[in-house]
Structure 1
Amino acid sequence: MRRMSPDVPLLNDYKQDFFLKRFPQTVLGGPRFKLGYCAPPYIYVNQTVLFLMPWVWGGLGTLLYQLGILEDYYTAALSGGLMLFAAIIIQFISLYARNKSVTVERMLTTDILAEEDEHDFTSCAGTETIKFLIPGKKYIANTVLHSFLAGLMCGLGTWYLLPNRISLLYGSTGGTVLLFVFGWMTLCIGEYSLIVNTAAETATFQTQDTYEITPLMRPLYIFLFVSVDLAHRFLVNIPALEQVNQILHILFIFLPFLWALGTLPPPDSLFLWAMEQVLEFGLGGSSMSTHLRLLIMFIISAGTAVTSYFIP
């Protein structure tokens, strides 16, 4: 048996270049700051502006709250409303660019990878530039839903990362600054993947994202973290909930790396797994071989349990 020479690299030149392009894009939620060709500077500037836009709206609301002009819930509503408006504008710009573009026959090339990667940018706000930055949604329903979720996530995220709130949890100025800065990085990553351009996720459940479920992955976990904080706000007399909230605030800033490493499952697999666990351990059923059978058995079992509860 021949052994591999120790001089053979783990990644060759092509794989290294691909990894250096793909991994930062996955960590940051979609921005492509490293391309395989020379792109105009405005491509990177536009991506940076789109990436930091939620932080601008959230920072505005946070500033008004810190100055005592607005209450915390009004701050969340203001930031969420501004983000909702911005998300709608972004989606309409993408839709306009797609409708304006015309189909042009291109010469075939033997380099398929180059054909996929290279784009011809003509101006800062050109059609090709907009289509590259904001691919857009396939369905109008997702356009509306994702825009609404973007506004809701920005509003609740602003409430979640208010400096006074973090300071009450930890009592440390340095920790507050650290969690505020990196927490907003996590929120910007979730917003970008939801309404601008979705990153190639490491954890995948289906080969094709027919119904555009992948953009919902990162917002789903952000909402789960925020929901614990909301429960702690309205149920303040539970010490265990406060400890969980403190732990999750710290874990919140590590979410981008958990997403990039494929540690957290996508929404569809998480939903089916949770449904199967409830069916087996909560309703006394058994695992099914297909998703459709699982859904039907879960509905029947849950309906039977609810009906039995109300039978006198």
Structure 2
Amino acid sequence: MSPDVPLLNDYKQDFLLKRFPQTVLGGPRLKLGYCAPPYIYVNQIVLFLMPWALGGTGTLLYQLDFLRDYSAAALSGGLMVITAAVIQLTSVHAKNKSVVVKRMTTRNILAEEDEHEFTSCASAETVKFLIPGKKYVANTVFHSVLAGLVCGLGTWYLLPNRVTSLYGSPGATAALFVFGWITLCIGEYSLIVNTATETATFQTQDTYEITPLMRPLYIFFFVSVDLAHRFIVNIPALEQMNQILHILFVLLPFLWALGTLPPPDALFFWAVEQVLEFGLGGSPMSTHLRLVSCVTVCFSSSLNCSLL
């Protein structure tokens, strides 16, 4: 190949500039291939920052000594559950409306999927564009509750007094608080508003809507270490791990975007296979069904032997 040939041509560069920020931010489409009304971008920014506003309410009440830390977390989580439910119900209501979304004429066939004609900031086509909604009712309820847990535990995780006790620096506290909440907003947006196209994928079709769970899953892992450090004191290694993970927490958006962290389904089957090979002395299975069945049989046999 000639050295004068660019790695990305003009079309690929335009596609990358649209897709990569969307993946980093968890779903907001802040760069479209056509001229969209300003309220499309404003609505996305408001939805993106909504968890921060709710979590900031609990944080402010805690800093003013009106609430305890766990009460502030519970308040933020409860408000987030209500907000997520309203967002999902709004999407369902927009889908039920008999409004036809007209396509804008364009010469670029590959861009036609993204082009819509919007009539107002709260019209059905605008809502369906911003909030595609869930396929299943169970996921609508589950993801809304999960969003509340993420917001509540995230509020507890990023309380300024807590971060200051780990680092003893107001500057570090401010930086981790701001960028940490950006990470939480990214995870929440991907969960309840619009799921981003992930770089790391395990299955071609997300039939059961597992992809939205990827970012909250890793947020829960980071928070779990902090909770362990809160309730299990006098362990220096756990404190050091908590300090390191607080720094890595603000880098999670880039780790997600670069495909460094595996999706939940791939991580689950990998963990089960490691248990089968190194914990139970088995061999790798050719299919997921055989893998889960073999581990289940091995655990059942071990349990029966221990009870005899």
Sort the TM-score into its range (normalised by shorter chain): over 0.9
> Structure 1 residues 121, 281: closer, same or farther in 2, change over 3 A?
same
Deviations 1:44-74 (A, max 9, x none): 0000000000000000100000011100000
> Structure 1 residues 165, 8: closer, same or farther in 2, change over 3 A?
same
1:163 aligns to 2:160 (yes or no): yes
In structure 2, what is the equivalent of residue 274 of structure 1?
A: 271
Specify which of 274, 284, 292 is matched with residue 287 of structure 1: 284
Alpha-carbon distance in structure 1 between the residues aligned to 2:197 and 2:14: 16
In structure 2, runs of 5+ residues without a counterpart are none
Specify which of 80, 88, 101 is matched with residue 77 of structure 2: 80
Partner secondary structure for residue 158 of structure 1: helix
In structure 1, what is the equivalent of residue 211 of structure 2?
A: 214
> Structure 1 residues 177, 104: closer, same or farther in 2, change over 3 A?
closer
In structure 1, what is the equivalent of residue 192 of structure 2?
A: 195
What is the TM-score of this pair, normalised by structure 1? 0.96
CA contact (8 A) 1:54 1:191 kept: yes
Q: CA deviation at 1:293?
A: 0.2
Alpha-carbon distance in structure 1 between the residues aligned to 2:104 and 2:84: 36
Alpha-carbon distance in structure 2 between the residues aligned to 1:223 and 1:98: 32
> Structure 1 residues 37, 107: closer, same or farther in 2, change over 3 A?
closer
Deviations 1:257-279 (A, max 9, x none): 00000000000000000000011
Q: Which amino acid aligns with 2:32?
A: L
In structure 1, what is the equivalent of residue 125 of structure 2?
A: 128
> Structure 1 residues 89, 148: closer, same or farther in 2, change over 3 A?
same
Q: Which amino acid aligns with 2:117?
A: D
Percent of paired sites with the same residue: 78
Which piece of structure 1 moves more, 243-252 or 98-107? 98-107
> Structure 1 residues 24, 90: closer, same or farther in 2, change over 3 A?
same
How many residues align? The count is: 308
Deviations 1:16-60 (A, max 9, x none): 000000000000000000000000000000000000000000001
What is the TM-score of this pair, normalised by structure 2? 0.97
Q: Which amino acid aligns with 2:88?
A: Q
In structure 2, what is the equivalent of residue 152 of structure 1?
A: 149
> Structure 1 residues 184, 108: closer, same or farther in 2, change over 3 A?
closer
Give the root-mean-square deviation of aligned CA atoms. 1.4
Alpha-carbon distance in structure 2 between the residues aligned to 1:104 and 1:163: 46
Q: Which amino acid aligns with 2:5?
A: V
> Structure 1 residues 177, 107: closer, same or farther in 2, change over 3 A?
closer
* Equivalent residue runs for 1:1-312 within 5 Å: 4-102=1-99, 111-311=108-308
In structure 1, runs of 5+ residues without a counterpart are none
> Structure 1 residues 235, 6: closer, same or farther in 2, change over 3 A?
same
